[in-house]
Amino acid sequence: MTSERRFYLTTPIYYVNDKPHIGHAYTSLAADVLARWKRLSGHEVFFLTGTDEHGQKVEKAAEAKGLDPQSFTDQVSQAFRDLAMRMNYSNDAFIRTTEERHKDACAALWKRLEERGQIYLGHYEGWYAVRDEAFYGPDEITDKDGQKFAPTGAPVEWVREPSYFFRLSEWQDRLLAFYDANPDFIAPASRRNEVISFVKGGLNDLSISRTSFRWGVKVPGDEAHVMYVWLDALTNYITALGYPDENASLWKFWPADVHFVGKDILRFHAIYWPAFLMAADLPTPKRVFAHGWWTNEGQKISKSLGNVIDPLALVEEFGLDPVRFFLLREVPFGQDGDFQRKALVGRLNGELADALGNLANRTLSLLQRNCEGRLPEPAAVTSEADREFVALAGHAELSAAVGGLLDQQKFDAALAQVFAAIREANGYITREQPWALKKTDPERMRVVLRTLHDALRVFATLLQPFMPDTMAKLLDQLAVPAEARGLEALATPLPGGTPLPPPSPLFQKIQGEPA
């Protein structure tokens, strides 16, 4: 298989200082949908997620719980594994930065940078935010009631300690040239502009080790130091592929096709990471996509307000696939979004139950009653109505449109494209009235029902990445064999006479909620 048919995508590795929330679920969901789409398209896919378990913040969180850091991270990391399983993510691997293979990879990258003259010993003095595990320049610090704060709102403290430095300042011009040569490297465009503006403002050498705490990867040859948590964390993306063994079976997937990240960690992925890689003479990832944040009913989400959204509680209440659908349908990926219950209920009742669910149930029930529960022969498109409908809901056109949008991470627009076709299908069945055609033109009735069945097969196939369980159920009801559920299989019609199982509802409407 050529590299063009391979696809490597990652979530951030999630910081284990607290339990998973809606933001974690959202990032991983986007990666999962794209991974599933690429597999449907015939790609060989490697999809990675995991947990970031080192650093001062974790050390302090463990201490607050009365646990040693390893026991603490074992517990919290498992919560992220459980989230991935409950949300039905299809990740191929789950990495933890406390694994020995990862420590070995970090040491190898450090030595490679050191050999190339990119690391030197000095001392760090400046503002540091434990919450962000990040250093900030004086121009980024604000003062409120005598307390200093980072741009993120995290409190900062003045730190002075011995430190190894990475020569980041040497990479300023080369990074700007890299962004210019790779305009799609940072997305969306607004984030790209932010990063370029920051780099043009000047880059200082980066402190990449600490001596004031112990919970981290030891610096090779100087164990008084632990590696800066971001050098450690970013390396996970190559650890999982076997680095430093560039003959490992998974190394063929590097460079990554897309790193999905929250906008708060874009700087680390779009500045530090490519600089580390270029300095180590390793290929850079092709794309970093930074999504926005969720608010809850118009309010900023925070533990102090008690409005943190638990994704597993949402799944328990509304069902897994409706929640997966809603999170990527409601807001353009890359923008901030507001979670509202009435919006979720509206999408579930309107688009899922009424538009798609009702279309499937009407079509399949009519096939049961009027075609002896068997699929009619493939329809010859003869009428103008059929031609117009097939042009909108045909597999080639719709697949290409959805694939193009997903390649740009426009998940909401891809779903909108499919649901526009579903609305057309509902208009088609209403106009053609196959229930009335049984008496007046039974042959025309069979053409209409076969055309609708073919369209439903297209919709169910294309929606599998978003709602895998429910679309598997619909494809079962459409009698599509398991081996014929990829995109290429849509070009081969199902044979006429195929027996169809009795239909059952796909979605349950939510009653009694405000509209």
pLDDT tens per residue across span 283-333: 999 999 999 888 888 888 776 677 788 899 999 999 999 999 999 999 999
Higher pLDDT, 209 or 387: 209
Q: Does domain 341-491 have CATH number 3.10.180.10?
A: no
* Residues 254 and 8: beta-carbon distance below 8 Å: yes
**Strand 294-296, strand 288-291: pairing:** unpaired
Q: What backbone phi and psi angles, to 5 degrees, belong to 346?
A: -65, -45
With 50 as the cut, is the pLDDT of residue 152 above it? yes
Note the pTM of the prediction, 2 decimals: 0.93
Cα–Cα separations (whole angstroms), residue 440 to 372, 434, 449 = 18, 10, 15
Beta strands in 25-152 (DSSP E): 44-52, 93-96, 119-129, 134-136, 142-144, 147-149
DSSP state of 225: E
Angle CA 395–397–399, to nearest 5: 60
Q: What pairs with residue 475 in β-bridges? A: none
Rounded Cα gap, residues 89 and 495, in angstroms: 33
SS (H, E, C) 50-63: EEECCCHHHHHHHH
Q: Counting Cβ atoms within 10 Å, is residue 478 exposed (0-12), middle (13-18) or buried (19+)?
A: buried
With 90 as the cut, is the pLDDT of residue 126 above it? no
Would you state the structure tokens that stand for residue 417, as one six-digit string?
């494209």
pLDDT digit string, tens, across residues 375-406: 999 977 778 888 888 887 778 899 999 999 99
* pLDDT confidence of residue 514: 52
- C-alpha torsion 304→307→308→313, nearest 10: 140
User: Average per-residue pLDDT in the chain?
Assistant: 93
* Residues 444 and 431: beta-carbon distance below 8 Å: no
Higher pLDDT, 129 or 484: 484
Percent of the chain with pLDDT over 70: 98
Per-domain boundaries in the chain? 341-491
Q: What pairs with residue 335 in β-bridges? A: 333
* Residues 257 and 10: beta-carbon distance below 8 Å: no
* pLDDT confidence of residue 1: 45
Rounded Cα gap, residues 188 and 334, in angstroms: 6
Which of 74-83, 131-140, 290-299, 471-480 ranks highest by mean pLDDT? 471-480
